[in-house]
Amino acid sequence: MSKNLKIGLFGFGVVGQGLLDIIQSQNLNLEIIKIAIKDPRKKRTLNKDLFTTNRDEILNNSEINTIVELINDAEAAYEIVTTALKNGKNVVSANKKMIATHLKELVDLQQKHGTSLLYEGAVCGSIPIIRNLEEYYDNELFHALSGIFNGSSNYILSKIFNENQSYSSALKEAQDLGFAETDPILDVGGYDPKYKLAIATAHAYGLFINPDAILNIGIQNLSQHDIKYAREKNFKIKLVPTARKVDTKQIVTYVLPKLVAKDDFLYNVENEYNAVTVQAAFADKQFFFGKGAGGHPTGAAVLSDIAALRYDYRYEYKKYHSENGVKHTENILLEIYLRYADEDLISLLEFDDISERYAANEFKYVIGTVRLDSLIKNRDLLLDKDVFIAYTGRQIYKEEKIAAQVYEEAVL
């Protein structure tokens, strides 16, 4: 039998209003008691008595048994969520930065206080990827997770490759439509998909990774030269987060632009849509597709979590609690396309192998394999406006080759 949920809602922006639209369109066993907002002067269609600017009016209200947190401020969201869990209230959140940064602590809090935190809406909008990773895939059979996790950057890239728009024009259009912020670096710089990847990796492998340990390079330095190169090779460029098993005990993660071929599921994922590709031992590749941005798609994911709380659902984190011993590694090789201006960068990255090279006054690039830890070490140089990097999609995990290199370096 379902519980009657009395909800305290934090945030009434695009997602909060989208959630309310969905709730009002259905006959559900729940009620919004109070909504916390920042600006009380803003005109709203709902009864003003429903709103408050005092968070404690919600957190300390004994009638409210469920908190829904939909604000942008990660630090404020952390205070709200942790206080609610300690007070015995279940929580639904869509704040990917807060969750990714504090996930281990949040899991421990749930266990200690017997509460539940659900966050399907924090990763890929309307796609139900978290619950699928949590419930469907066994760790030993799960190989890889990748996709398009950010609708803003994908919208920009779609306009560039499908409509020949410039980067600046496509970015402005995304901002005008509300897909990208005034300062879009969280999206185009790969930070947003990095937080989402950290959360998904916890459920895919039982491995909690500090987002700061995940390399993220975005699309902000994309130039006409890179676009021309991709088109000549029949590729599109997509911003793709990846988590993959290197062996039974090691997981590699990164967020990089990728040269996507026509036979890749991600090739035809356009505009604000998101997609997730998973690979498992016997199921092979599976593909999830849906809108990743907007009030109603994300609101639908939030409502799914709220509905699950009516039946006391909680994530079990079985892979994490099994203590399977998986570790995060950077000791792998990736094949990349690199546009550069300064020859010194090639030396600093210490390419393992270069298979293709082109140099002209206005455009230089190489295709070659490089160690992930070298990319991380030189990340600041890779963010220079004259540099663009993209993963080719050819995955080279040669542990024996890397081990030989490490031995040689140690001997020398």
Q: Which residues form the catalytic set?
A: 196
Q: Alpha-carbon distance 359 to 74, whole Å? A: 44
The token pair that represents 287 in the structure block: 């593909």
Query: How far from each other are the two terminal CA atoms of the chain, in whole angstroms?
Result: 69
The amino acid sitting at 243 is: A
Report how far apart, in Å, the C-alpha atoms of 139 and of each of 134, 194, 251 are: 10, 21, 12
Distance of CA 207 to the CA centre of its chain: 15
E-only strand ranges, 49-97: 51-52, 66-69, 90-93
Q: Alpha-carbon distance 359 to 94, whole Å? A: 46
Residue 248 exposed, middle or buried by CB count within 10 Å (0-12, 13-18, 19+): exposed
The token pair that represents 210 in the structure block: 């500090």
Q: Alpha-carbon distance 301 to 70, whole Å? A: 12
Q: Alpha-carbon distance 247 to 250, whole Å? A: 5
Q: Which residues neighbour 48 within 8 Å (Cβ) at sequence distance 6 or greater?
A: none
* Secondary structure letter of residue 4 according to DSSP: P
